[in-house]
Amino acid sequence: MVGEGKAAQRLWERDSELQSAEQAVDKLCREFAAGGTKIGELLLFSGPPGMGKTTMLEQVRRIAGARKDPTVLFARGSERQKHEPFRVLRQLLLPVLGDLDPDERTDVFGNWYNIVAPAIGLEPPSDEVERIDPQGVHDGLDFVITQLAPRRAPLVVVIDDLHAVDQESLTWLASFVLRARELPVLLVFAYRHEFDDVARPLLLQILDRAERRHELMPLNPLSIAEIVHSEFAEADDAFCRQVWAVTAGAPFDTVALLREVRDQNLEPVEENSPRLRDLAAAARGQGRDYWLDKLGPTIIQFAWAAALLGTEINEELAAAICAQGPAQAAQSVRELRRLRVLTSQPNGRLEFVHPLIATSIYQSIPEATRTGMHGVAATAIEDRGGSLLSASRHLLETHPGEGDDLMVRKLRRAAAENLAIGAPEAARRCLERALAEPPDEDDRAEVLYELGSAALLTDPDATANQLRRALDIEDGLSPDLRVEAVFRLSEVIAHGGDLTGAARLCLSEAETTPEGLGKDRLLTAHLLYTALQRDEDNGPDRARKVTELAARIDEESEASRPVRALHAWDLTLKGTPTAEALRAAEDALVNGRLPRSLGWTNTTWNFELPALLGLCFAY
């Protein structure tokens, strides 16, 4: 359990859970040694706060680490970092993937490096990528882990505080639990029953696949009495019973309370039992006064900065946030270690001894101070070469309403980086905060357009709403961006089942668009949506317009390829001789391959035109 002394040196009433963990690790190692590969298993620990889940996972890591074979990967969810996309997967995978030699890296990543590496922090997001489908990142992660597992087998993957894992990581983990059965992997998760509405279905998906599930229950009065006697041999029975009553049998609260009893030099006798309730409340550290009294005005500043950062705390960064020099920061760390608030990780980073302590200290920061410190944290991260992906979660915690153009620019850049790693929800949060700042009136339409585009893959209704708002602002978008916004809006309308409305929108906008690539694109989209309608009014007339458009556009230009693809489809539908239809389809390609604008992952067009080309060749 968390704490000091003998009470923290063993687990109480957890023999069956420990035995289950030992059996799971032993089974993994034994079956792998016998040549097994499809031996994956899932082990879950759940329970209210303070029941010993974190300590249980420490024991699992100890058990696995005592064997010579397993590779142990560990990560922890964090309430403060829950909106930082792929954060838990970065913490989990970056150490092992970053250590791969060049040949191994090529084998493990295959063709997925450019998609997966930015998501897990091996590379910065590419400026050349506008938007990556989250499913593409998930598919890439599946490939990478499938290749990595046999090379580092057997794998023991341990994740604490699953309820506080970022949505992007949790979504992938929920899908991976099924694939893990086919690999030499033991998954061990611990969580509280505090999943939000979006995450709850993912938890159910995980529960469905768990072979071993353990709910950690409160300790009984006898165990609490043993814990008390291990710290205070002279404690009387009435005192022990009151400790159990005020802590409700929670191991964390019990050890924390006993520490307070010792600090207060309180005799562990019945006469002092009435004071235990107040001490227990103080031990949970729910208020600023408790921590201020415990740490003092200087040390608490460092503790607040550390709580802001969450897990894997960089001492220099925390010092910068709270404006402490190296000597004072070192003193703060020493004192926080002594008081069992912070501890050191093998990689040199700091972490809180227990997540409940981190939450308590974060909640003790006065609101105005917390907002200001988040702003300082964002700047400090950037000043030290950190990414906007890391800094943006702090920017989101600052108060809007100042009309800060620099803030808006940073949030827009952070949104672009989130889209480039397959995290549209994170991008949406950044752009909504940018709108609230608010942006300059000249930029408002562009921010609305970016917000609509960010929601394209996840919330079509929101996309349509934001794009219409952007288009309604007179002269708010440049001509090229206006064409892009109309095309995105037409996509949403078409995919919502209204092909006629999508075709009408594109034609209407094309009529007011100057001659050029934008007008040609809108006309092509209009003809495409018309062609896809089940009951097309005048197919021959539309096919004639396609032919005329194809003849008018320079046949060597990139813009001609979409029209030629549509023309090839018309020839296929008409039953034109095979050679002619195939020649038309090949004219839409570049050296026998899809042109960049028609690529499956390119956002210039959607899937319809490359799909129609494929059907041409199939027929």
347 phi and psi angles, rounded to 5 deg: -85, 5
Q: Which helix (H) or strand (E) covers residue 188, if one does?
A: strand 185-191
Mean pLDDT of 147-173: 96
Q: How far apart are the C-alpha atoms of 94 and 75, rounded to whole Å? A: 11
Q: How far apart are the C-alpha atoms of 12 and 14, rounded to whole Å? A: 5
The mean of the pLDDT values for the chain is 92
Pairing outcome for strands 41-46 and 185-191 = parallel
Pairing outcome for strands 342-344 and 350-352 = antiparallel
Tens digit of each residue's pLDDT (9 = 90 or more) over 35-77: 999 999 999 999 999 999 999 999 999 999 999 889 999 999 9
Mean pLDDT of 554-564: 84
Instruction: Give the sign of the dihedral formed by CA 452, CA 458, CA 460, CA 461.
Output: negative
Query: Would you state the structure tokens that stand for residue 482, as one six-digit string?
Result: 């206006």
> How does 223-243 read in b/e, with b if 16+ C-beta sit within 10 Å?
bbbbbbbbbbeebbeebbbbb
Residue 382 makes CB contacts below 8 A (sequence gap 6+) with 388, 391
Query: Would you state the structure tokens that stand for residue 284, as one six-digit string?
Result: 């949970």
**pTM, two decimal places:** 0.88
Query: Would you state the structure tokens that stand for residue 353, as one six-digit string?
Result: 């001894």
For residue 571, which amino acid is it? Answer: L
Query: Would you state the structure tokens that stand for residue 191, as one six-digit string?
Result: 């969580």
Other beta carbons within 10 Å of 133: 15
Mean pLDDT of 281-309: 87
Cα 472 to its chain centre, rounded Å, is: 33
* Cα dihedral 542/547/553/554 (nearest 10): 160
Q: At what angle do helices 499-511 and 517-531 cross, to 10 degrees?
A: 160
Question: Has residue 8 got a pLDDT over 50?
Answer: no
Range of weakest confidence among 178-192, 433-447, 566-580, 592-606: 592-606
Amino acid 129: pLDDT: 65
Question: Has residue 480 got a pLDDT over 60?
Answer: yes
Burial zone of 522 (CB within 10 Å; 0-12 exposed, 13-18 middle, 19+ buried): buried
Tens digit of each residue's pLDDT (9 = 90 or more) over 501-515: 999 999 999 999 999
Among residues 356, 353, 298, the alpha carbon closest in space to that of 329 is found at: 298
Tens digit of each residue's pLDDT (9 = 90 or more) over 362-385: 999 999 999 999 999 999 999 998
Amino acid 5: pLDDT: 47
Q: How far apart are the C-alpha atoms of 138 and 132, rounded to whole Å? A: 11
Question: Has residue 1 got a pLDDT over 60?
Answer: no
Q: Distance between the two ends of the chain, CA-based, in angstroms?
A: 68
Amino acid 281: pLDDT: 80
Amino acid 165: pLDDT: 97
SS3 at position 443:
helix
Query: Would you state the structure tokens that stand for residue 471, as one six-digit string?
Result: 């288009």
